[in-house]
Each structure stands twice: as C-alpha cells, then as structure tokens.
Amino acid sequence: MSAAAPSSALEAGAFRDRFRLPHGPEGHDALYLCGNSLGLQPIAAADAVAAELERWGNLGVAGHFDGPLAWMPYHRLCTDKLALIVGAKAEEVVAMNSLTVNLHLMMVSFYRPEGKRRRILIERGAFPSDRHAVSSQLALHGLDLEHDLVELAPRRDGLLHEEDIEDYLERYGDSVALVLWPGVQYATGQVFDMARIARACERAGVVLGLDLAHAVGNIPLNLHDWGVDFAVWCSYKYLNSGPGAVAGCFVHQRHANFDGPRLAGWWGHDEKSRFRMGPAFKAARGAEGWQLSNPPILAMAPLWASLDLFAEADIHALRRASLALTGHLASLLHERLDKAIQIITPLEPHRRGCQLSLKVRAGREAGRRLFERLEAHGVVADWREPDIIRVAPVPLYNTRAEVDAFVALVEKLL
Ligand SMILES: Cc1ncc(COP(=O)(O)O)c(C=O)c1O
C-alpha cells in the first residue's frame, strides 16, 4: 500500500543519467519536455529486453518456468511496484494489454445498465478513445448517446469542477450507472480530487472508473483507500515503458471474487488449474482474473525495468520534486511572460501535476508559430488542437536548468 511514507528529498533530474536523451539540432541533447506524451527510454530497458531475447534463445520453451524471470509469472515482477505507485494492494493490480482494451474489459464487467440507471457520466472534451469506448459500450447495450451519455461541461474558467459532479449525482444519481473520469485531464493538465469524486459516487450508488493515463507516475494515487471501483492506465507516458507499452489495470478488492459477466481468456483462469485445460472458466482472484492472453514478455521487460526506477526514487519524493520543478516553470512564466502566455492549468499545487498547458494570448496562429520555432530550437513539447502547447518537466530526468532554458527561449522567440 502506498502509505504517505516519508522519503528523502530528491533533486529534479536526479535520475537523468539513467535515461537516453534524444538528440536536438546539431547533435545536442533535445530539451525534452514531453514525458506527458512519451516518457524517455530508461537505459536499463534495452538490457531487460536483451536478457529476455537471450533467455528465449538459450532456453526455448523452458523459459516459461526457469528461474526468477520465468515467463509464466513474469507480469508479477511489475505488480508490487505498480501497487505502490497507484496505492493498491497487490491483488488489485495487473499489468496487461493497452489502456483502451482494459477500459473495455472493465466496462463489460462494471457498466451494467439496469432499468432507469443506465447513464454514463464523462467530462466534455474527454480523450477521444474514452468517448469512443463509452459510445460503443452504450451501443452494445442498445442504448444511445443522446440520452445516456452525459458530458459534464467545464465552467467559464475552462476547468471541470468536482462540485458539479457532486451536484449532478445528487440530482440525477439514480439514473447513472457509471462515472468514468480522468485522474488528470489530458488537455488542461488539471488534477482532480479523486477521493472526493469517489465519495460522491459511493453516496449515489454509482460505479466509478478512472482513466489514469496522465496521472500514473505523475502524482501519488491511493486507489484502494479512495474506494475506486476500477482504473486503467497506459505505461508509455510518465511510466517511461516505451511506445505502446503494456498497460495496467486496477480492480478494487471488494470485487476480488467478481462473478458477473466478463470477457474471459485462459490467462485469467485460476493459476492452479489453468493447465488442466478444462472447458470451464474459473476466474483468478482479483485483477488477474481479467487477463486474457499470456503476456508479451519482450514488451513487458521495459515496464519492469522502468518500474525499478520508481521503486528507487519513490513516488512521494518524485511528487515533491515535481511540485518544485513545475512550480518554478509556472512562476517564471508568470513573472516574465504573463502578457504573452496564459497558463490554463490550475496553479494551485494540488490541482496540477508535471504538465502545464499554455496558450499564446495573441491567438492560435501565433501559438502554432511559437510551437514550431521551439521545435526548430530543439524543444520537444506537444501541440493539442486547437491552440494548446503542453509542456511537462518530469522530475526523474528534467532539471531546473532546463526549465530556465525553456523560458528564456520562449522569451527570445516571442
Ligand atoms: C487520457 C487518455 N486516455 C486514453 C488514451 C488511449 O490510450 P491507448 O492508445 O494506450 O489505448 C490516451 C492516450 O494518450 C490518453 O491520453
């Protein structure tokens, strides 16, 4: 469990030499501020993959059962470390599939519309894959978007307010079957009070699922204690596990013996009798019961290698370093560029993670121009339509000096 264990101070960039840095112009290191999209490659990742290729070459099928890296239980190398990062018990967590696949698996089990209670509540402007997933789940149940998908709008400040979820659930909670909410909004970088949302869902008797794509490895989470029903995340952003990396899934312990509907596969079958090859499905206890296939070991090796760094650094120490680093970026932008740049991410520390989302006040075209010029000068950030530049200093590998250099460059280019 992720108790708020005291941990020693960590300087931003303390793990920089454990990562590979992409090249910028003229062979210099890029100014990489894009860990919110794709985290950097841990140097240990290549060794971890090479080790599995070796084991496959040397052992063949025996690799499934041989030694501490046996492929049969290989996914468990990740379990305890993931559990620490998301604040879960080991049996609540499993590394598998990809985010959207896991979201569908979860909704097949936990979105069970019945009678009047059939709506899904999401945020307006949700990441498209989430919206496609909930739309297709509604369609599978013969329901339609117009009546049964509720998209809660941001207020005039451009932000979503937890209070509005509470209000909606107080008024219409008996018509809602599922709230699917992000831990961190991908476009604005806003962090939500997930404990508060979980309490509102509990009062209304509504299932809560979280999309933690932008939260995992970014801010500490406490999924078990908050009482979230399920959560899904990808591992290629702050978890630095590579493009399309093996994702993760949390199912609360109270569903450990779930016997409702699920899409099943042999890897979710109880481990003790899996190889008796019987025709009947007996789910493994906990999150592992939702596994479908034997995991892709070569893809899982970088995840394990990267999680080791988190275990070493400690997610709470990383958060403290992140608050200081992103806080530094916010202050510099505010002091030196307030007339030109608007930060749309909320600035209260508990409402933001690593990422700041910026808009150029002069408008979209000026914003796009700035973004392209930054790119030409070796800054790696990203652009989200219509007019957002996202930058995320990541405390594992970004430094305060890089933040200074970024702001100085923006100043110069503007
Ligand atoms: C918030 C959010 N949800 C869902 C996804 C989709 O993830 P995947 O392609 O891994 O299923 C992403 C991808 O960036 C995301 O940012």
Atom of ligand 1 nearest to the CA of 126: 1
CA–centroid distance, 213 to ligand 1, in Å, is 6
* pLDDT above 60: residue 3: no
Residue 229: predicted pLDDT: 98
The 10s digit of each residue's pLDDT in 10-36 is 999 999 999 999 998 777 889 999 999
What b/e sequence results for 183-211 when a residue is b if at least 16 CB atoms lie within 10 Å of its CB, and e otherwise?
bbbbbbbbbbbbeebbbbbeebebbbbbb
Residue carrying structure tokens 């950030």: 381
Find out if CATH 3.40.640.10 is the number for domain 54-312: yes
Beta bridge partners of 42: 19
Closest CA to 306 of 1, 8, 41: 41
Q: Quick check: 270 and 297 in contact, CB under 8 A?
A: no
Could you tell me the two tokens for 96? 């598998």
* Residue nearest (by alpha carbon) to ligand 1 atom 7: 99
Q: Where are the domains of the chain?
A: 16-32+314-413, 54-312
Residue 28 has what pLDDT? 84
At 340-394, the pLDDT tens digits run 999 999 999 999 999 999 999 999 999 999 999 999 999 999 999 999 999 999 9
Please enumerate in sequence order all residues whose Cβ is within 8 A of that of 375, keeping only pairs 6 or more positions apart, or say none: 381
Ligand 1 lining (C-beta closer than 6 Å): 98-100, 127, 129-130, 182, 186, 211, 213-214, 234
The Å distance, Cα 211 to ligand 1 centre, comes to 8
Q: CA 289 to CA 218: how far, in whole Å? A: 27
Instruction: Ligand 1, residue 101: give the atom nearest the CA.
Output: 11
Nearest CA to ligand 1 atom 8: 99
CA atoms lying within 13 Å on the CB side of residue 298: 6
Q: How far is the CA of 60 from the centre of ligand 1 (A)?
A: 34
State the Cα–Cα distance between residues 127 and 114, nearest whole angstrom.
Answer: 26
Can you read off the two tokens belonging to residue 164?
């509005």
Among 103, 234, 303, residue to substitute to test ligand 1 (most atoms within 8 Å of Cβ): 234
What is the per-residue pLDDT across 79-104, written as a single tens digit (0 to 9) for each?
Answer: 999 999 999 999 999 999 999 999 99
In sequence order, the 6+-apart residues with CB closer than 8 A to the CB of 253 are 89, 91, 92, 224, 286
Q: Whose CA is nearest to atom 13 of ligand 1?
A: 213
Nearest CA residue ID for atom 10, ligand 1: 99
Taking the centre of ligand 1 as the mean of its atom positions, its distance from the CA of residue 99, in whole angstroms, is 6
pLDDT of 2 reads 40
What pTM did the predictor assign?
Answer: 0.96
Q: Are 110 and 230 in contact (CB under 8 A)?
A: yes
Expressed in angstroms and rounded, the spacing between residue 212 Cα and the centre of ligand 1 is 9
Lowest mean pLDDT across 1-5, 34-38, 233-237, 370-374: 1-5
Determine the average pLDDT of the residues in 131-140: 98
> How far, in Å, from the CA of 129 to the mean position of ligand 1?
6
Q: At CA 183, angle to CA 181 and CA 186, rounded to 5?
A: 90
Q: Which two tokens stand for residue 388?
A: 């957002």
Supply the residue whose CA is at minimum distance from atom 4 of ligand 1.
129
Which ligand 1 atom sits nearest the alpha carbon of residue 236?
10
Q: What is the pLDDT of residue 7?
A: 54
Q: Are 333 and 407 in contact (CB under 8 A)?
A: yes
- Position 316 pLDDT exceeds 90: yes
Q: Does 3.90.1150.10 match the CATH number of domain 16-32+314-413?
A: yes
Q: How far is the CA of 336 from the centre of ligand 1 (A)?
A: 34
Cα(37) to centroid(ligand 1), Å = 10
Q: Taking the mean position of all CA atoms in its chain, how far away is CA 277?
A: 35
Question: What pLDDT sits at residue 385?
Answer: 93
Atom 15, ligand 1: residue with shortest CA distance:
213
At 291, is the pLDDT very low, low, confident or very high (cuts 50, 70, 90)? very high
What span, in angstroms and rounded, lies between the C-alpha atoms of 390 and 189? Answer: 8
Task: For a ligand 1 pocket test, name from 98, 100, 181, 233 the mutation site with the most ligand atoms within 8 angstroms of its C-beta.
Answer: 100
Choice from 129, 132, 134, 211 to test ligand 1 binding pocket (greatest atom count within 8 A of CB): 129
Give the 3-state secondary structure of 7-70: CCCCCCCCCHHHEECCECHHHCECEECECCCCCCEEHHHHHHHHHHHHHHHHHHHHHHCCCCCC
What is the CA(312)–ligand 1 centre distance, in A?
27
Q: How far apart are CA 214 and CA 398, in angstroms?
A: 17
